[in-house]
Structure 1
Amino acid sequence: MNIVDRADESYFQAWRAFGRCAAGGAVRESSGLLCVSSGLPVAFMNLAFVTRPLSAPEDQIASAMAFFDSRREPFIVRIREGLDRASEAACERLGMPYSDTVPGMASTSMSVPAPPAGLDIRLVDSGPALHDFRAVISAGYEIPMAMVEAFVTADLTRAPEVESYVGYADGQPAASSTLAFGGRVAGIHNVATAQEFRKRGFGEAMTWHGIERGAAYGCDMAALQSSEMGQPIYARMGFRVVSPYRTFHRPGV
């Protein structure tokens, strides 16, 4: 598999795990369409991925709409740029216009610098650590704690292909990251920093920690999906955009 295909599969594999472990989650996959429900009423937490060109795009996208409608959940569709223009057109015809593109980035450099002074990174392997991890996610992404608790469950910390980490500074939970590994790819997710600890390099350090742990599991490549704010930081770390994911949404839903 080339870098793009490996980055794709890493993204899909992580969301399969997230959906499988979420309190009210569900995963449905068939013929190039992967639907992952978080059980939450938030569109960006419920995704339909086109994983390869669809044989009947309009019917299959409509089936994804029916799946999420049956669960009373808003959702978005993500399609890698250039993968399947017919599916993009089907989204538009079904009332799901294009909204934005998420940069999928990858790096084959697994050389990791030392973390900044004052950051103590620990594995999430207990109730207290899970609470601290959730607190950072809630603060960093400005998501209600109840939603984080439903999505980031104890089951996720026990998933064999997933590890999560909390970085502590001044004795307080300050930053977070999650590693989802498979196919020799270290997928990095949930990188967040509480507002009072920003501008200290902690988010970058948490990303490097996930990469280092991935290398220990035999990964020779790292992949992530970046926000607009994070993209310059990841570029400085050696990541490059390899798989832009186009997003289609349902207005008003």
Structure 2
Amino acid sequence: MSTDEVLESNVQFHKAWEFFARSCPKGEVIRSPEVLIAACNVPWSIMNIAFQPASGGTEAALGHALDEAAHYFTPRQRAWMFAISWDWLTPEVRERAAAVCAGRGLTLAMESIGMVTERLAPPTRSLPALDLRFITDAEGSRHVADIHAAAYGAPVDTARQSMAIPAMFQGECRGYLGYEKGQYVASAAVVKQGDVAYVAYVATRPEFRSKGYAEALIRQALKDAQRLWGLERTGLHATLSGYPVYLRLGYREATRFGLYAPGSPGR
């Protein structure tokens, strides 16, 4: 893996979550030499993430970053995650990282794969014609939340409190919803990050999967990013289930992250 793309993927992850945090009424971004915290301060842990601020560092430094994150989130009674970039750790610290987390009550909640491409591959199948709508108001952002609740098995109320925030889809973030016969079936968004179009909020309701809806939205979003911002290079962070889809779209793996959470994995 390219060192430059490892750095780029980390920076994209940081910038995206900082943008989301700053879009939330109670959101907060804290940068220090020890830790980066991008907290929307909402119920869903995936929207409250602490990060390594830089590569390298000792086992003690990793432990201190985890402690600083816990010190921030625990009094606020917010579910949260700590994202560990495996390629930013030395081999010695990487070997010990899971144990360092476990010693603080943190378990692996999910994995994320940083991916990048200079341009998308041509479609390998006919994509569906969707009624495409931009997310511009509270109703649209609620639909995004509902899609994600269904896609990830989260309570609808948790998802709505965490994602039904219209400001997340304004400024340099364009949100998209796909409707079929009046039903909202999939969502996607693209965020302008310097010279990169960052793809986020991709999800499809389970009963509508494998029909190409998400791919159709992603392709439209990136077409717009090129037209409006002149951006063709694009990055994202995929779940394990989404990884094969993005490979088919022409993305390649840049690096991997482990997201550790207190107590039960996930939410």
Common fold: TM-score over 0.5:
yes
- 1:1-253 matches, within 5 Å, as 2-31=4-33, 33-53=35-55, 54=57, 56-85=61-90, 86=93, 88=97, 90-96=100-106, 98=108, 101-110=111-120, 116-152=127-163, 153-158=165-170, 160-216=171-227, 217-252=229-264
| 8 A contact 1:140–1:193 mirrored in 2 | yes
Normalising by the residue count of structure 1, what TM-score does the alignment of the two structures yield?
0.86
In 2 relative to 1, CA 130–40 (structure 1 residues): closer, same or farther, beyond 3 Å? closer
In 2 relative to 1, CA 7–219 (structure 1 residues): closer, same or farther, beyond 3 Å? farther
Which is worse superposed, 79-88 or 110-119? 110-119
Percent identity over paired residues: 23
Aligned residues: 252
Cα offset, 1:246, TM superposition: 2.2
In 2, the alpha carbon distance for the partners of 1:60 and 1:165 equals 35
In 2 relative to 1, CA 200–2 (structure 1 residues): closer, same or farther, beyond 3 Å? same
| 8 A contact 2:86–2:258 mirrored in 1 | yes
In 1, the alpha carbon distance for the partners of 2:65 and 2:138 equals 41
Cα offset, 1:235, TM superposition: 0.8
| 8 A contact 1:101–1:245 mirrored in 2 | yes
Post-superposition CA distance 1:162-209 (Å, at most 9, x none): 111001112221110111221211111111112332221101112222
Q: Is there any run of 5+ residues in structure 2 with no aligned partner, and where?
A: none
* 1:2 partner letter: D
* 1:197 partner letter: F
Structure 1 segments, 4+ long, off by >4 Å, are: 97-100, 110-115
Q: Secondary structure at the match of 2:192?
A: strand
Q: Secondary structure at the match of 1:82?
A: helix
| 8 A contact 1:96–1:251 mirrored in 2 | yes
| 8 A contact 1:24–1:39 mirrored in 2 | yes
In 2 relative to 1, CA 249–132 (structure 1 residues): closer, same or farther, beyond 3 Å? closer
In 2 relative to 1, CA 98–143 (structure 1 residues): closer, same or farther, beyond 3 Å? closer
* 1:145 partner letter: V
Q: Is there any run of 5+ residues in structure 1 with no aligned partner, and where?
A: none
